[in-house]
Amino acid sequence: MNNFKHVDALRGIAVLLVVLVHFGQLVPPGQIFGFLSKFGQYGVQLFFVMSAFTLCHSMKKVRELNSRSYSKFLIRRFFRIAPLYYLAIPLYFLFSYICLKYLRQTPYTSTNDYTIKAVLSNVLFVHGLYQPGNNTIVPGGWLIGAEFLFYATFPFVYVWALRRRIIIGFAISIAFVATIILVLLQGKIARMGEIENNGFVYFSVFNQYPCFAIGMLYYFYSKNNRFRLGIAMLAPLGVICIVLLHDRPWGLFLTPLFAGISSVGMAQYFEYRTSPDFLSKVGRLSFSIYILHFIPVWFFGKVYQSFFPFHLKGELVSLIIYIFIVGITYAISLVSNMYIELPFISLGQKLSNNMKEIEAHRTE
């Protein structure tokens, strides 16, 4: 089994689902397309699962964690994510400013939300712990906040799991979720936003941590027949639970876990099958597509809402416009990948390798 042939395809599916849910919010009410599109939000959990899976692979040569190996890991992650994300901060501010000035509305966030603290929390990637900056400075930025908080702990969890052959992070994640529920039940949570789907509590890394833990389990036990059988049995049940619990007040604590299990089930399905080439191509640009798709979605969604006659607002037209938006975003992402992502990924790798050379000289 090639553990990585299917990863790009799964990332492609994940980002297509995310674009779907955001465009689906702009289609005329009552469409089946709009109803189904809301479940596209669980593409994020597929992202998290595959992120943990690939991170484990990138760490496979690490047997002992020290300050140098930890620094090298963070350097590579920083240069993978930060350059495009930093560019997105002024980009979305400018977009919000133009929309406010000429359209008298801002699509995602108000320019007043760009406070020093909120922007700084995003620059330092701690916005996953700061509600005013969590999902405002960059639309969808909560995902990056959760990812970076996971990055901070991942090397420790990975090395511990490598030694013990179990994923302590899974147990920790369950403890986090249980703690949050207990705190909520006792009414001691404050200033964390409304308890609802896509609120601050839902976005919290603690609530999403089961997805990362399950992704690590998938890496360590992908060849274990009992694990694979268990996932194959639980994945369909996970999908059913997601449908039943979606938008329910307490469902937000469980849907990430069920989405993570279902994501591994999908991954196992794709392992032995040839994926369509376009999915892999989309997957290789998934980060750029995720960061940049909000502008095309909102612009063409508003054009669809405002200028299309009633008889051209059917299911098929919604699907065609969605495909068009994906195509436009893909073209833009090709440019950002070539001129932003790849050069800085290469720079991060060089800096990481330089640290290896310095370390080698010191040990001589």
At 344-357, the pLDDT tens digits run 999 999 998 887 55
Q: Amino acid identity, residue 312?
A: L
Look-up of token digits 């597929």: 46
Q: Residue 2 contacts by C-beta under 8 Å, 6 or more apart in sequence?
A: 271
Instruction: State both tokens at 344.
Output: 């800085």
pLDDT digits 0-9 by tens, 173-215:
666 666 566 556 555 554 445 567 888 888 988 889 889 989 9
**What does each of the 364 residues of the chain score in pLDDT, given as a tens digit?**
445 779 999 999 999 999 999 999 999 988 999 999 999 999 999 999 999 999 999 887 776 778 888 999 999 999 999 999 999 999 999 999 999 988 888 888 888 899 999 999 999 999 999 999 999 999 999 999 999 999 998 998 888 887 766 555 566 666 666 656 655 655 555 444 556 788 888 898 888 988 998 999 899 889 999 999 999 999 999 999 999 999 887 788 889 999 999 999 999 999 988 889 999 999 999 999 999 999 999 999 999 999 999 888 999 999 999 999 999 999 999 999 999 999 999 999 999 888 755 555 454 5
Alpha helices in the chain (DSSP H): 7-24, 32-37, 43-58, 67-103, 116-123, 131-134, 141-164, 168-185, 200-203, 205-221, 225-245, 255-271, 277-284, 286-292, 294-307, 315-336, 342-363
pLDDT digits 0-9 by tens, 84-123:
999 999 999 999 999 998 888 888 888 889 999 999 999 9
Closest by Cα among 251, 333, 350 to 285 = 333
Look-up of token digits 């299911």: 315
What does the alpha-carbon distance between residue 28 and residue 306 come to, in Å, rounded to a whole number? Answer: 11
What does the alpha-carbon distance between residue 293 and residue 19 come to, in Å, rounded to a whole number? Answer: 7
Residue 92 burial class via C-beta count within 10 angstroms: exposed 0-12, middle 13-18, buried 19 and up? buried
Q: Please say whether the beta carbons of 57 and 5 come within 8 A.
A: no
Q: Please say whether the beta carbons of 19 and 293 come within 8 A.
A: yes
DSSP string, 185-215: HTT---SS--SSTTSHHHHSHHHHHHHHHHH
What does the alpha-carbon distance between residue 346 and residue 337 come to, in Å, rounded to a whole number? Answer: 12
Domain ranges of the chain: 7-363
What does the alpha-carbon distance between residue 49 and residue 13 come to, in Å, rounded to a whole number? Answer: 13
What does the alpha-carbon distance between residue 221 and residue 24 come to, in Å, rounded to a whole number? Answer: 36
Instruction: State both tokens at 64.
Output: 């002992």
Q: Amino acid identity, residue 105?
A: Q
DSSP string, 32-67: HHHHHHGGGGGHHHHHHHHHHHHHHHHTTT--S--H
Cα-flanking dihedrals φ and ψ of residue 107, to 5°? -70, -35
